[in-house]
């Protein structure tokens, strides 16, 4: 569907917030060993938070046994279950980045070397070489029997790692993992899979999943999307379930977005974007045609991500196109006309509102008590967001000049104090501080 006119403009109104949630790619979770992403400091913090030891694989790019272990052992499902259950798994190249200091600190001289480290960072056991999947599993069992690591074991870890999967056990074990702040995605998916079909959609189970779901790329997340009711105004149970599911989905996506920003993981960002689009199709089949809203959501995510990660080059590519080609393309008169249409539509809908709500309906496009519903305000807010980010992240006068045109346009549409401050900051950067006197008029 090709977009044009006002719909195209509205497709690119950004930074107004996410209005839909994501559908996960159904999966049973990673089959092999999952390695922690982030710095060594972050891995230690996570180990302390979960009270779990660390399995540290120290390798080099030229080491044949390292390559064999990476190809043969780490994708193995049995090894993955054992190590993902009991350890925070971490990898370090002994010749790159933090791996150089880690190899030196733990006196690693041969590769691969497996280091088993207590949550507080003390080395408990080391093993050199690779002897196969079974040898690694046996080694993990021996290491976990050592007193400093034995104390980290949760009740049920061994039975779960050995394949116990009946629903009653999984429910108890899930609660234990939650209590210890450990990841629950694999256990929750296993629990849903073990439940009889007749028990999977009871309110009790839905609320349990809402409380425990942690990732969008899980069966549990998909389960919530598929079981979200469309409540009637009189069904209090459906209303409660709908609110709980929406809250859970929102929490998961927000957490994953924060994770993507913290680790600068663009692949995770794109997964989140894709999941949003799939969610829309599943919960509202007619939304297949709403490409404008999908584009807006994708742009919103990417801009927020690149701003948070201070990747100004990629931020600029998107922002300059949106601002110049869309947000700056309509005249003030055209925007005010759209405002009037939206106000009229709101008034029609408000006819049945109780008196306590009717007071929030704007009387005209000049009624700033309801500016958040106006197209002109949305355009101004987005232009100011771009200009402010350019001011903060760019060191180029050319970028500041461009940002200045945007914020001046925002001021014309909605003269707000924060817009005037951004204008003054840009003028100062450009050596035109005297011009800031105009902002006081």
What's the pLDDT band for 114 if we cut at 50, 70, 90?
very high
What DSSP state is assigned to residue 323? Answer: I
- Identify the pLDDT of residue 233: 52
State whether residue 257 is helix, strand or coil.
Answer: helix
Read off the pLDDT of residues 291-325 as tens digits, 9 standing for 90 and up: 677 788 899 999 999 999 999 999 999 999 999 88
pLDDT digits (tens, 9 = 90+) for 212-247: 999 888 999 999 988 887 655 567 778 888 889 888
Structure tokens that stand for 296 in this block: 């807006």
pLDDT tens readout for residues 195-204: 999 899 999 9
DSSP 343-361: HHHHHHHGGGS-HHHHTTS
Taking the model in full, what pTM does it have? 0.67
183 vs 92, more confident = 92
CA–CA gap between residue 391 and residue 385 (Å, rounded): 10
Q: 38-93: per-residue pLDDT in tens?
A: 999 999 999 998 889 999 999 999 999 999 999 999 999 999 989 998 999 999 99
What confidence score (pLDDT) does residue 378 get?
86
Within 72-161, strands assigned E span: 88-93, 113-117, 123-128
**For the residues 106-116, what does the mean pLDDT come to?**
94
Q: What pLDDT, on a 0 to 100 scale, did the predictor assign at position 69? A: 96
Residue 162 has pLDDT above 60, yes or no: yes
* Cβ burial 19-54 (10 Å sphere, 16+ → b, else e): ebbbbbeeeebeebbbbbeeebeebbebbeebebbb
For all residues of the chain together, what is the average pLDDT?
Answer: 83
Q: Mean pLDDT over residues 108-127, rounded?
A: 93
pLDDT higher than threshold 50 for residue 4: no
Model confidence band, residue 340 (pLDDT cutoffs 50, 70, 90): confident
Lowest mean pLDDT among 75-79, 112-116, 329-333, 343-347: 343-347
Residue 97: per-residue pLDDT:
94
Q: Rounded to the nearest 5 degrees, what angle is found at the Cα of 19, between the Cα atoms of 415 and 369? A: 30
pLDDT above 80: residue 160: yes
Rounded to 5 degrees, what are φ and ψ at 36? Answer: -65, 135
Measured distance CA(181)–CA(46) in Å, rounded = 10
360-411: per-residue pLDDT in tens?
A: 555 544 454 444 557 888 899 999 999 999 999 999 999 999 999 999 999 9
Residue pair 66/112 in contact by the 8 Å Cβ criterion? yes
- Who has greater pLDDT, 343 or 234? 343
Whether the per-residue pLDDT at 355 is higher than 70: the answer is no
For residue 192, name the pLDDT band (cuts at 50, 70, 90): very high
| Helix and strand counts by DSSP (H, E) for the chain | 21, 4
The pLDDT value recorded for residue 354 is 55
The domains of the chain are located at 40-153, 161-307, 310-440
CATH code for the domain defined by 40-153: 3.40.30.10
């Amino acid at each position: 569907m090709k977009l044009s006119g006002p719909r195209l403009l509205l497709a690119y109104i950004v930074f107004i917030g996410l209005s839909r949630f994501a559908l996960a790619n159904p999966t049973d979770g990673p089959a092999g060993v999952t390695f922690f992403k982030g710095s060594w400091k972050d891995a230690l913090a996570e180990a302390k938070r979960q009270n779990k030891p660390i399995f540290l694989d120290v390798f080099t790019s030229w080491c044949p046994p390292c390559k064999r272990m990476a190809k043969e052992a780490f994708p193995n499902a049995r090894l993955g279950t054992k190590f993902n259950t009991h350890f925070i798994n971490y990898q370090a190249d002994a010749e790159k980045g933090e791996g150089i200091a880690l190899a030196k600190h733990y006196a690693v001289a041969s590769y691969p070397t497996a280091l088993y480290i207590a949550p507080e960072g003390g080395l408990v056991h080391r093993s050199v070489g690779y002897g196969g999947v079974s040898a690694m599993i046996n080694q993990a069992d021996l290491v976990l029997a050592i007193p400093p690591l034995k104390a980290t074991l949760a009740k049920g870890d061994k039975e779960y790692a050995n394949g116990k999967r009946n629903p009653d056990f999984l429910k108890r074990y899930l609660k234990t993992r939650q209590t210890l702040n450990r990841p629950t995605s694999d256990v929750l998916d296993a629990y849903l899979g073990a439940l009889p079909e007749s028990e999977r959609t009871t309110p009790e189970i839905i609320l349990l999943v809402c409380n425990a779901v942690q990732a969008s790329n899980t069966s549990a997340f998909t389960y919530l999307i598929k079981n979200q009711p469309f409540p009637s105004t009189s069904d209090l149970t459906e209303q409660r379930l709908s609110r709980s599911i929406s809250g859970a989905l929102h929490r998961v996506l927000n957490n994953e977005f924060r994770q993507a920003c913290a680790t600068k993981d663009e692949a995770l960002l794109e997964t989140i974007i894709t999941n949003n689009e799939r969610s829309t199709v599943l919960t509202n089949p007619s939304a297949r045609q709403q490409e404008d809203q999908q584009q807006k959501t994708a742009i919103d995510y990417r801009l927020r991500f690149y701003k948070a990660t201070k990747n100004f080059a990629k931020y600029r590519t998107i922002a300059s196109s949106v601002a110049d080609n869309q947000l700056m393309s309509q005249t003030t008169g055209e925007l005010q006309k759209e405002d009037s249409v939206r106000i009229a539509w709101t008034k029609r809908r408000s006819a049945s509102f109780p008196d306590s709500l009717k007071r929030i309906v704007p009387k005209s496009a000049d009624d700033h008590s309801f500016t958040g519903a106006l197209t002109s305000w949305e355009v101004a807010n987005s232009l100011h967001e771009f200009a402010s980010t350019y001011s903060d992240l760019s060191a180029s006068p050319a970028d500041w000049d461009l940002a200045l045109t945007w914020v001046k346009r925002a001021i014309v549409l909605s003269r707000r104090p924060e817009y005037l401050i951004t204008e003054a900051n840009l003028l100062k950067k450009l050596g035109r501080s005297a011009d800031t006197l105009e902002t006081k008029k």
